[in-house]
Homo-oligomer: A and B are copies of this chain.
Amino acid sequence: MASSDDVVTMRSEWVLNSPEPPSLWRLFSNSLNKSLSHYRHKLSSLRDQPSPKPLLALLSSLFPILHWIPHYSLTKFRNDLLAGLTIASLCIPQSIGYATLAQLDPQYGLYTSVVPPLIYAVMGSSRDIAVGPVAVVSLLLSSMVQKLIDPASDPIGYTKLVLTTTLFAGIFQTTFGLFRLGFLVEFLSHAVIVGFMAGAAIVIGLQQLKGLFGMSHFTTKTDIISVLKAASTSLFQHPWNPRNFFLGSSFLIFIITTRFVAKRKKKLFWLAAISPLVSVIGSTLIVYVTRADKNGVNIVKHVKGGLNPSSINQLDFKSPHITEVAKIGLVVAIVALTEAVAVGRSFASLKGYRIDGNKEMLSIGVTNIIGSFTSCYVATGSFSRTAVNYAAGCETLVSNIVMAVTVMISLQFMTKLLYYTPTSILASIILSALPGLIDISEAYKIWKVDKLDFVALSSAFFGVLFSSVEIALLLAVVISFLKIILISIRPGTEALGRLPGINLFCDVDQYPMAVRPPGTLIVRLKSALLCFANATFVRERIIKWVAQEELDDKGSTTSTVQLVILDISNLVNIDISGIACLEELHQSLVSQGKKLAIASPTWEVIHTLKAANFVSKIDGRVFLTVGEAIGCKLEC
């Protein structure tokens, strides 16, 4: 018996005499070092190689294309050409539609499908992403920038601000990448993104009512109530031409049908991919032949042709809204990165390669900076076009180059052909892309797995619908972090009992076969922190628990608890209020003739308890396991 006691004492000393945990400062400097060493390592590996290799290595680290282009083959090019042409056919109508959604002239969408894919092709590390304008970012830009300048009354000033926002977004993204701040993108949790995308899809869809019905009066607000009000006013009080709706909805049905077919027969995926372009061509021909534009069908009219003009002179840093523009740039930068990284990661994992989040942010950032100089608005990886690119069998980012060249040719020679394209077709094409943003099965999974996550999802969803995009995002991020606080400080406690056949103590509710030892109350704290926010609760609950423990159902005293063992294995941090809580608990127990013992403290916690002299106050009753703590009832 004595030797077993010795072993317990020895082990208790292991707990108490463990070396000092790394200090906060060391943890911080370590993580800073790691971040710096990334670059140091890169530099030294450059220096070690015989010249002129260093330069080449640096270049190929910045431009992954230098890595894979030497191994590029004709077979690969054939696949990339096919994929590139397929996404180009989807990209041209989508770009025009998204530019309209962003309240810019149609050519800006096409511009954004030329320069960004080219830049990304030489810098990006994904092999599947199709870069260009996307729906959510277009909505975000228009809903936020139009609060500063009205695009209807001052389209030139509005376009300038959008381009300036694009520059800011690019600068923020590049900065995140350079300083390896990838974690900022993680702040939008998966649940928030699912809710936000679904809400944005509905809002974008409602915005398309204007084009689909050819309404002349509409609202610039994005919340569902304003939009529905404006739509019903327009429908019932203003003249609108049913031809727009007829044209738009019949081609919408056509697009949806082709997609349905493509889903059934995977080989026909190209049918779904080119159906938007077919719709554009078909509807344009119909309008041109029947001259339906004279009978009230709204058409795109003039689209400015020619390649991207320089827009350096359009960047407006003297605007009175410049701080607002920077803020919008930040929001847009994060949302665009979130989409790009999510798209990139999911397709990379399908093909079994990895992409570096920080490098990805850097390349999207540079893409947008250069984009803002060449009349492009914020570009990122598009969900729908990346999926088509993947399905079309793309091999490398060359498919992006093919797409950019195709759009370039269209800009140069074919913008005149778009004159008679009905605007309702653009609305149909946007509408047809929206269901992909609404992921009901994922939302159901989140509901099943984590109710609090679903609250964050709902807040993002309803926030977008009923308030505004930026408030929805802010609300959802706040709720996500409130959830973290709530879970960390929830003052949970559980009674432990010994599992049969093993010297292990577990929650008696979780393991009904666990038996609680007589005369001892073993309590495990379930929260990660014992701090100002929950210490009083925990203390009160344990004191009440001890009192209840000694009463039977009729309220008379039956048993006596001699020892309370506090299993603090879950505790990762204790603050000064937490220590005060333990001291008061100890005092309260002593005044009742009971003892307090501590079991399984983590490294930081035992260190803090030692620093606060708590260990000596409870006569060193700190044990490695609950099993060893039990012995101290008999012993001391």
Contact = CB atoms under 8 A, between A and B. Distances in A.
Contact of A19 (B448, B512, B611): B512
Contacts of A569: 569-570
B19 A580 contact: no
A152 interface: no
A187 B510 contact: no
B533 A450 contact: no
A487 to B, nearest CB: 5
Given A24-B451, A509-B19, A576 B11 contact: no
A448 B611 contact: yes
Contact of A487 (B504, B526, B573): B573
A419 interface: no
A349 B585 CA distance: 12
A320 interface: no
Contacts of A535: 186
B453 A575 contact: yes
Given A349-B587, A453-B576, A612 B532 contact: no
A489 interface: yes
A5 interface: no
B11 A528 contact: no
Interface stretch (A256-264, A299-307, A310-318, A477-485): A477-485
B452 A24 contact: yes
A144 B189 CA distance: 39
A360 interface: no
B512 A576 contact: no
A612 B446 CA distance: 9
A613 to B, nearest CB: 9
B579 A449 contact: yes
A71 interface: no
A487 B491 CA distance: 16
Contact of A533 (B484, B489, B509, B608): B484
A561 interface: no
B608 A449 contact: yes
A355 to B, nearest CB: 12
A200 to B, nearest CB: 19
A290 interface: no
A189 B577 contact: yes
A183 interface: yes
A536 interface: yes
Contact of A480 (B446, B453, B532): B532
Interface residues of A, number: 78
A58 interface: no
B576 A502 contact: no
Nearest to A18: B510
A502 B7 CA distance: 10
A191 interface: yes
B536 A186 contact: yes
Interface string A448-488: 11111100000000000000000000000000110011011
B507 A603 contact: yes
Interface in A544-576: 569-570, 572-573, 575-576
A513 B572 CA distance: 22
A189 B575 contact: yes
A450 B608 contact: yes
Interface string A592-635: 00000000001100001001100000000000110000000000
A418 interface: no
Contacts of A625: 504
A362 interface: no
Given A183-B537, A488-B484, A191 B576 contact: yes
A19 B18 CA distance: 37
Contact of A484 (B352, B502, B529, B584): B529
A8 to B, nearest CB: 10
A487 B529 contact: yes
Contact of A572 (B357, B528, B577): B528
Interface string A492-533: 100000010110101101111100000000000011110111
A487 B488 contact: yes
Contacts of A179: none
Contacts of A506: 624
Contact of A186 (B189, B352, B532): B532
Given A450-B575, A509-B603, A624-B504, A580 B532 contact: no
A14 interface: yes
Contacts of A187: 532-533
Contact of A488 (B526, B528, B580): B528
A527 to B, nearest CB: 7
22 contacts: A18-B510, A18-B511, A19-B509, A19-B510, A183-B537, A186-B533, A189-B531, A190-B576, A191-B577, A445-B576, A449-B611, A449-B612, A453-B576, A484-B489, A484-B533, A485-B488, A487-B528, A487-B572, A504-B625, A527-B528, A528-B528, A570-B570
Given A186-B534, A191-B575, 11 more contacts: A11-B499, A21-B510, A186-B536, A186-B577, A187-B533, A188-B532, A357-B536, A492-B572, A526-B572, A528-B529, A570-B570
Ordered nearest first, which 8 A-B pairs have the shortest CB separation? A528-B528, A189-B532, A488-B488, A510-B603, A487-B573, A190-B577, A18-B510, A449-B612
Interface of A: 7, 11, 14, 18-19, 21, 23-25, 182-183, 186-192, 349, 352, 357, 445-446, 448-453, 480-481, 484-485, 487-489, 492, 499, 501-502, 504, 506-507, 509-513, 526-529, 531-537, 569-570, 572-573, 575-577, 579-580, 584, 587, 591, 602-603, 608, 611-612, 624-625
